[in-house]
Structure 1
Amino acid sequence: MAPERDLSSARNGRSWSLVDLGAAAAVVLAAVGVIWSPKLSGAVAQATGALTPVTVLVDVRGVPVANPSALIQAAKREGKVAIVIRNQPHGSVDVKQVLPLQRLLTAVQPNGTVVTAVDPNQATLGSLDARFVLQGQGRKSGGGVVFGNQNLKVGAPVEIEGLQYRVGGTVSGLQTGGQ
């Protein structure tokens, strides 16, 4: 009878093995990953009203393009672009406007006056100079605007990708829905 009693006491007083502790840690880490996932936190922020419309102005300058006006028209027609912030894909955002920018030449005259003129080489060299006005969802934070789970400020480099192009630009302006 003594061996039977020892077996039942071993079942009731079971200790945790290293494998059990590893499995429990994996379950806890998986639960934390689900709770803090960017998509879930974005869905929670949208449901609670923390997300507001954010307008992002992106300037693209000096990108060699065979037909800049056709690229601008294609971006307007598509109506959406994929945006990459600090090498992290954000997803797609709406294109509200694409404004062509004129490059200006500045010269100081012998009498001390400054003269500016439109660069005539811009049309013949085929380079894209444009301002993309993008609309998405984000929230205002103390350090700028959180857009696509990335803190975005004026001067930050971003990439914009359409069906037939991918260009790098710089954020030149931010506006939240309350501004």
Structure 2
Amino acid sequence: MIILMVAVGIFVLPGSSGKSILAQANAASIELTTIVRGLNVLDPQVVLDEFKAEKTNIIIRNQPAGQVEVVNVQELPRNLAVPQPDGSVKSLPDPRPESNYSRDMLLTLKGRGISPPPAWF
């Protein structure tokens, strides 16, 4: 147990530089596309315009985690699967009024980070 704690202290906790060894690794430019589902707001167009800003702050577990650049915002259509009398299914726009206040979108973010090697299971 003590050996494990020493190993964690060497590799994770900051030394005299103020950064851990893990944080000093070479960061590369990373682009990530995320899906945002069911974003419920009163005026969705204002939120979409805000997402098109140049940079945004990322907060993870109520702690600031840095800034990323918003590269692209693509709104996804809200469709429902509607069964037809002949047994087929059609994808049609959601007619419910509450769907006017909910949006799905793809956000493409770009920033600097460390890409881990692929995991082999």
TM-score, normalised with respect to structure 2: 0.69
Which stretch of the first structure deviates more once superposed, 114-123 or 101-110? 114-123
What code does the residue aligned with 2:95 have? P
Match of 1:93 in 2: 68
Alpha-carbon separation, structure 1, partners of 2:13 and 2:33: 33
Partner SS, residue 13 of structure 2: helix
Q: Does 1:34 align with 2:10?
A: no
Match of 1:66 in 2: 42
Alpha-carbon separation, structure 2, partners of 1:67 and 1:126: 7
Alpha-carbon separation, structure 1, partners of 2:20 and 2:44: 35
Q: Which has the larger radius of gyration?
A: 1
CA contact (8 A) 1:61 1:129 kept: yes
Deviation at 1:100, TM superposition (A): 0.9
1:133 aligned to 108, 113, 119, which one? 108
Change (3 A) 1:93 1:38: farther
Give CA-to-partner distance per residue, 1:42-76, whole Å, 9 cap, x none. 3x323xxxx22111222222122111111111221
CA contact (8 A) 2:14 2:20 kept: no
Alpha-carbon separation, structure 2, partners of 1:39 and 1:127: 41
Q: Does 1:113 align with 2:88?
A: yes
> Percent of aligned positions with the same letter in both sequences?
31
Match of 1:45 in 2: 25
What code does the residue aligned with 2:43 have? N
2:59 aligned to 62, 65, 84, which one? 84
Alpha-carbon separation, structure 1, partners of 2:51 and 2:25: 29
Match of 1:17 in 2: none
Deviation at 1:129, TM superposition (A): 1.8
Give CA-to-partner distance per residue, 1:23-44, whole Å, 9 cap, x none. xxxxxx7xx73239656643x3
TM-score, normalised with respect to structure 1: 0.50
CA contact (8 A) 1:103 1:122 kept: no
